[in-house]
Amino acid sequence: MNRILTVVRGHKNEAMATASRFIAACVEAGMQAGPDVADAEVIVAIGGDGTVLGAAAQAIERSLPVCGINVGRVGYLAEFEPSEISELVTALRTDSFSFDERATVGVTVGETTSYAVNDIVVEKVMSQRIIEIAVRINGEPLATYRADGIIAATPLGSTAYSLSAGGPIVSPELNALVLTPVAPHSLLSRSIVLAPDAEVELTLKGERPGSINVDGRHVMQVAPGTPIHIKRGQPNVQFLSLGQHPFPQAVREQFGLDHA
């Protein structure tokens, strides 16, 4: 790969300095790299997991692979550290890497569909008021939750908001959809792990509206009675990998776990 599009979110000194180092190393290796590269073959995000998520959204739209160089706190989505820039540049120059296909999750309201790498969240709008969400799975009623919201997460997103709401950690190699209620006032308070082809329909009951967030980005407000359809996304996202950080290591490093 000779044309690399770089994405740096924000203007933190460390991220900008790391991006400059990476671009310089690419240019020295005879490649084009930078934020304005035309006809890019890969997107490299420099920053934290939020930066990688933003770059992944671009990658899905443009049918490109993506990878991340982690800057700052320990990252789960960014495979490479700044100390590994030379290894990444060599891999890009020689095409000596693999692709990890990761599932996305899509949400459709009316004629509008959005895709997430981590999660779709349907949540309350008014901070002091919970909402009622009726859930159907493959057309069958499951339950009506009185809660702050519901998270529909991919396996990759299971370590993000879903985990903080009490959801399980799911290996990204496992094709599944994880439904997790947020602060439910219900006997059914645990996550539900669904098959990859499951189709979920959420409908707000009562009079309170809800908000739909896609990978942390607000996309719309929905009125009660509006069907919200959630299922696995049609496009996957391809993460460029050198296989240096397997799943157990990534989890261990993200959460600072001890190991034998």
Q: In angstroms, rounded to a whole number, what is the distance separating the alpha carbons of residues 89 and 27?
A: 10
Active site residues: 49
CB neighbourhood size of 65 (10 A): 20
pLDDT band at residue 183 under the 50/70/90 scheme = very high
Confidence at 260, pLDDT banded by 50, 70, 90: low
SS3 252: helix
As to burial, measured by CB atoms within 10 angstroms (0-12 exposed, 13-18 middle, 19+ buried), residue 75 is buried
Contact between residue 85 and residue 23 where contact means Cβ atoms under 8 Å apart: no
pLDDT at 239 over 70: yes
d(CA 60, CA 149): 26
Q: What is the mean pLDDT of residues 227-237?
A: 94
What mean pLDDT is predicted for residues 8-18? 84
Percent of the chain with pLDDT over 90: 78
User: What residues are paired with 5 via a beta bridge?
Assistant: 34, 43
Segment holding 75, helix H or strand E: none
For residues 158-184, average pLDDT? 93
Q: Provide the residue type at 190 as one letter.
A: R
- Is residue 36 packed enough to be buried (19+ CB in 10 Å), middle (13-18) or exposed (0-12)? exposed
Give me the mean pLDDT over the 78-83 stretch.
90
Structural domains in the chain, CATH included, are: 3-102+236-255 (3.40.50.10330), 105-232 (2.60.200.30)
Task: With CA atoms as reference, report the closest residue to 172 among 158, 160, 192, 152.
Answer: 158
Predicted pLDDT at 88:
96
Tell me which range, 7-21, 62-76, 104-118, 181-195, is most confidently predicted by mean pLDDT: 104-118
Residue 238 has what pLDDT?
94
What are the tens digits of pLDDT across the range 117-170?
999 999 999 888 899 999 999 999 999 999 999 999 999 999 999 999 999 999
What is the pTM for the complete model shown?
0.89
Mean pLDDT, rounded, of the chain: 91
Pairing state between β 32-34 and 3-8: parallel
Structure tokens at 124: 């309350």
The pLDDT value recorded for residue 126 is: 87
Residues 6+ apart with CB under 8 A from 170: 155, 158, 176, 178, 193
Q: How far apart are CA 101 and CA 31, in angstroms?
A: 25
